[in-house]
Structure 1
Amino acid sequence: MHTPTSPSPTTAAKRERRKEARPGELIEAALELFVEKGFAATRVDEVAARAGVSKGTLFLYFSSKEELFKAVVRENIAGRFAEWTLELDAFEGSTDDLLRYCYKVWWERIGNTKASGITKLMLSEAHHFPEITQFYQREVMRPGQALIRRILQRGVDRKEIRPLDMDYAVYLVLAPMMFLMLWKHSMGACVPDALDLDPEKYLAMQADNILHGLYTAAPSPVTPPA
Structure 2
Amino acid sequence: MNVNAPLVPGPKWTRKPQARPDEVLEAALDVFAANGFAATRMDDIAKAAGLSKAAIYLYFPSKDDVFKALVEQRIGVVQSHFDAAAKDQKHDPLAGLQRAIRLWANSFHDLRLAALPRIILAEALRFPELADFYHRTVIERTQASLIELFQAGIDKGLFRPVEPLVAARALMSPLMFEILRRQAFPAHIPPLSMDELVDSIFDLFLKGLAMPEVENHSGVAP
User: How does the TM-score come out when normalised to structure 2?
Assistant: 0.84
Give 1:168's aligned residue.
Answer: 166
Question: Deviations 1:72-120 (Å, cap 9, x if unpaired)?
Answer: 1000113443333222222376333222212221122235542122111
Within 2, Cα distance between the matches of 1:112 and 1:102? 18
Task: After TM superposition, give the deviation of residue 70 of structure 1 in Å.
Answer: 0.4
Give 1:223's aligned residue.
Answer: none
Give 2:101's aligned residue.
Answer: 103
Q: From 188, 191, 206, give the equivalent of 1:192.
A: 188
Task: After TM superposition, give the deviation of residue 68 of structure 1 in Å.
Answer: 0.6
- Deviating more after overlay: 79-88 vs 207-216: 79-88
Give 1:204's aligned residue.
Answer: 199
Give 1:136's aligned residue.
Answer: 134
CA contact (8 A) 1:45 1:55 kept: yes
Question: Deviations 1:118-139 (Å, cap 9, x if unpaired)?
Answer: 1111111111111111111111
Map 1:1-226 → 2, pairs under 5 A: 15=14, 18-91=16-89, 94-110=92-108, 112-187=110-185, 189=186, 191-193=187-189, 195-196=190-191, 198-218=193-213
Count of aligned pairs between the two proteins: 213
CA contact (8 A) 1:176 1:203 kept: no
RMSD: 2.6
- Which structure 1 residue ranges, 5 or more long, are not aligned? 221-226
Structure 1 residues 93 and 4: CA distance shift in structure 2, 3 A? farther
- Which structure 2 residue ranges, 5 or more long, are not aligned? 217-222
SS in 2 for 1:128: coil
Task: After TM superposition, give the deviation of residue 198 of structure 1 in Å.
Answer: 4.0
Question: Deviations 1:111-169 (Å, cap 9, x if unpaired)?
Answer: 55421221111111111111111111111111111111112112112221111112311
Structure 1 residues 91 and 165: CA distance shift in structure 2, 3 A? closer
SS in 2 for 1:46: helix
Percent identity over paired residues = 30
CA contact (8 A) 2:105 2:179 kept: no
Q: Which amino acid aligns with 1:216?
A: M
CA contact (8 A) 2:25 2:70 kept: yes
